[in-house]
Each structure stands twice: as C-alpha cells, then as structure tokens.
Chain A
Amino acid sequence: MQHRRRDFLKLLSLMAAAGLLPAGAARAEEWNKAAFGSKKLDELMKLLGAGAPQQSDLVALIGPEIAENGAVVPLEVESKLLDTESIAILIEKNPNILAGIFTIPSGTLPDIQTRVKMAETCNVYALATAGGKRYFAVKEIKVTLGGCGG
C-alpha cells in the first residue's frame, strides 16, 4: 500500500511537471522562504531575480501620506505596463522587507489592494514584473504608531 502511494505521488509530480494537471490540482506554488526572510533590499532584489529594477511612472503605488496606525496601512498597486506578470510589495524598514508577491495571470488586471503592517516611517516599493523586466514605484509613508510593537 505504501508503495502504491509513493508511485501515485511520483506520477502526480510527473504530471504536474509535464503541465498535465490543471492549476490548483498540484500545489500551486512554493512559498519563497528565502525572499520572505530577507532583511536587505539589494539581497532581496537578487533573490527575486531582479537585477536593477527601473523606476517607472507606469507603476502606481497608492497609499496614505501618513499612517496613524502602522498595523493597518491600506495600499493599492496598479501597473499600466503591458503583460504585467507579478506585483510585489516591499517595506524597507520592516524586520522582513517583502510583504507579498501577487502573480497576475493573463485576464487578471494588474490592480490589487491590500493592507500591510509597517514598523516605522520608511519607503514602500511596488515592484512590477513585465516582459521579464522589473519596474518600481516608491512612496514614503509616515507612521505615527508602529505596527510591530508588543
């Protein structure tokens, strides 16, 4: 029985590798542990495979000028780049810089909103990937009360 299960698992992984399984049947994606544990901006860029991203007006990062509560900072990222494949949110002075990565399949608009925690006033980056290249928008958000306190 044990044997069969292993064979089945092997078959599943082969099918997934060959692209035979519909999305969602296999584990959609692995959580990028190294990137989420990263504490330095340049190190994180390397882990994300982003050489030197380029600042672009086609990426918009919308958020408050001043966040009274660092535990809940509403952000919206909208990319006007054609074929935007993913959007990442980076918070420079958080204990771990990377807050989230959103993968945008075709048919989904590169326009997402979420809420993040910010430890202190710092730059927030929206990093968009399009056509294999990285582009970013940056905005400084002032935090009056940190979101990571005890």
Chain B
Amino acid sequence: MGNPMKIRTKLDGDVVQVRVLMSHPMETGQRKTPEGELIPQHFIQLVSASYKDRTVLSAQWGAAISRNPYLSFKFQGAAKGEKVKISWVDSKGDSRTDEATIE
C-alpha cells in the first residue's frame, strides 16, 4: 500500500498545476544487495488522475522513473475547493489512491 502521496495544487485562473510525490522504491530489478543477490523488480506501472469523474491524466511507467516518483501536470476547468484524485498500480498489483482539495 505504501505511504500516502503528497499532492500539492496551484490554481491559476481555471488551470491547476498538480504536483505529486509518491512513495515507492521503484526497483529496476538490476540492483544487487551487498551480498550480490538481485533485488526483484518492483515499480509503479500505471498512474491515473481524475477530477470530477473526468480522467485528466493517465500514464504508463517503466522502472526508469526515479525512486519516490515525482509528477507534475496541468489541466483546465478546475475550481477551488474541488478534489483531484491520483491512483497508481505497481508491478506486484499493489495500488494506492489519494486525493487533494484544489487550493
């Protein structure tokens, strides 16, 4: 399940910038432990963001996205006090959804 995402919003007119910091190891499957054993792959594969039942962004990620991924995007038609919801699903099938109120 991981830790909650940190979601920050910045409204400018009706365009909102959403910045998200997710908590995830994003293991590539190429790193080794000090004992020389491969650390298995474990990374976020699907990300989606929605606003009032409207998908405002969806993404597919590989293991090359950095650990504790950062994502920023902007969409139109946003209003103060409404919510934006972010979800991810990782390569082990774990998932997490968090939401933030637009400020």
Q: Which residues of A contact B (CB under 8 A)?
A: 22-24, 28-29, 31-32, 36, 71-74, 76, 91, 94-96, 98-105, 107-109, 111-118, 147-150
Contacts and interface: CB of A to CB of B under 8 A. Distances in A.
Interface of B: 15, 26, 28, 30-32, 45-46, 48, 50, 53-67, 69-77
B70 A115 contact: yes
Contacts of A100: 59-62, 64-65
Task: Give chain B's interface secondary structure class.
Answer: strand
Contacts of A31: 45-46, 60
Contact of B59 (A101, A115, A148): A101
Given A22-B53, A108-B75, A103 B62 contact: no
Contact of B72 (A29, A71, A105, A114): A114
A36 B62 contact: yes
Contacts of B60: 29, 31-32, 36, 100-101
Contacts of A29: 46, 58, 60
Contacts of B71: 112-114
A109 B14 CA distance: 12
Contact of A109 (B15, B31, B53, B63): B15
A107 B30 contact: no
